[in-house]
Structure 1
Amino acid sequence: MSNNHLVRRAQSGDGEAFIDLIRQYELTLYRTAKRLNISDDDIADLLQETIVTAFEKISSLKEPQFFNTWICRILLNNCYRFMKKNKQVVALDVETLNSLGYQDTLSMELDDALSSLDSMYRIVLTLYYVNELTTKEISELLQESEGTIKSRISRAKKKLKNNYYAEGVTLL
């Protein structure tokens, strides 16, 4: 069953469909919060708050295909409020978004390579290749033009190729 169909069912009040959606995204949400250096106990609370908010407001989601972006934004906003309240001041900008989590299949080498990039490049590569967002979704999330996002992806790949993988190893 497609995510769009699950989102539509959840929007019409189907609790099981909503639970199925959350199961698909819970690991991504956890990793996103974890990369912001939040403790596991606090992450559990933030995830619960995010899920409750998403459940209450799912009818406000206009485009079902943007569920991933929408729920990540809810989580990031919750994390930002939590860090601000606890004096862990981290601006919710490109630097913060740069800390988004990624899949276990990524090698330590890729993590090191991404860390070698400026934050504006690191975040777009993470969102594009790791979180598998489209350039349009990334542009909406970062509030930048889609052309800017495409340029950053291209430049980031060139930087990695020229600076980090001088021996000709293919990364992306």
Structure 2
Amino acid sequence: MKSLKALVKKAKRGDGEAFVSLVKQYEDVLYRTASRLLNNDEDVADAMQEAIISAYERLHTLKNDEYFNTWICKILINKCNSLLNKNKSFSTVDVHVLPDQNNDDFQKIELEDALNSLNKDYRLAFILYYIVGLNIREMSEFLKEPEGTIKSRLSRGKSILRNNYYRKEAIVNEY
């Protein structure tokens, strides 16, 4: 697989195949992110398609080639938010946000409800950290928020989950 920077440079010069290769590398992350924010597969497909087209059209605006993943995820999240606002839908988070939980169906439903009870900022922090895989610094740059704010959102979200849903179980791992 060619290096990320090399593919981005080729894509910026108009190489469509290089852009397709870039998108394929991040397709799974993009899908998981959109599916956590949107309610149905049609909206997920629409958001992904719009984000990919927008990214292709605006590729020349990407300043730092190594942040392609963060950049395209931001475009996708903005498209998801636009769809949510347009459809007046509620966002949901799937139970796979947190790694390797017990496969008990009741616990999965309970965890999903707990995550969906978090406010938008906490839920977005969980998605970016646990699904997209961004670290605190990258999340700070991505959201244009101080690192302390990001850490606080993750910590408070975990605290809410622990206090309201999982008092005895250590479901949420520390970062």
- State if a TM-score over 0.5 links the two structures: yes
Secondary structure of 1:29's partner? helix
Post-superposition shift, 1:61? 0.3
SS of 2:39's equivalent in the other structure is: coil
Matched, 1:88 2:83: no
1:26 and 2:23 correspond: no
Relative to structure 1, the CA distance from residue 15 to residue 148 in structure 2 (aligned partners, 3 Å threshold; closer, same or farther) is same
**Would you say the 8 A contact 2:94–2:112 is kept in 1?**
no
Give the 3-state SS of the residue equivalent to 1:144 in structure 2.
coil
Q: What amino acid is aligned across from residue 58 of structure 1 in structure 2?
A: L
Equivalent AA in structure 2 for residue 32 of structure 1: T
| 1:158 counterpart = 2:142 | no
TM-score norm. by structure 1 comes to 0.70
* Partners of 2:34 and 2:6 in 1: CA distance: 27
Identical-residue share of aligned pairs (%): 46
Query: May I ask how many residue pairs the two structures share in their alignment?
Result: 164
The equivalent of 1:149 in structure 2 is 150
Deviation at 1:127, TM superposition (A): 1.1
Q: How much has 1:132 moved relative to structure 2?
A: 0.7
Partner of 1:47: 48
Deviations 1:32-61 (A, max 9, x none): 333322552x54344333222212221210
What runs of 5+ residues in structure 2 fail to find an aligned partner? 102-107
Question: Is the Cα–Cα contact under 8 Å of residues 47 and 76 in structure 2 kept in the other structure?
Answer: yes
Whichever residue aligns with residue 79 of structure 2, its letter is: N
Show the counterpart of 1:13.
14
Residues 130 and 32 of structure 1, relative CA distance in 2, 3 Å threshold:
closer
Residue 75 of structure 1 corresponds to 76
1:37 to 22, 39, 43: 39
Gaps of at least 5 residues in structure 1 are: none
SS in 1 for 2:63: coil
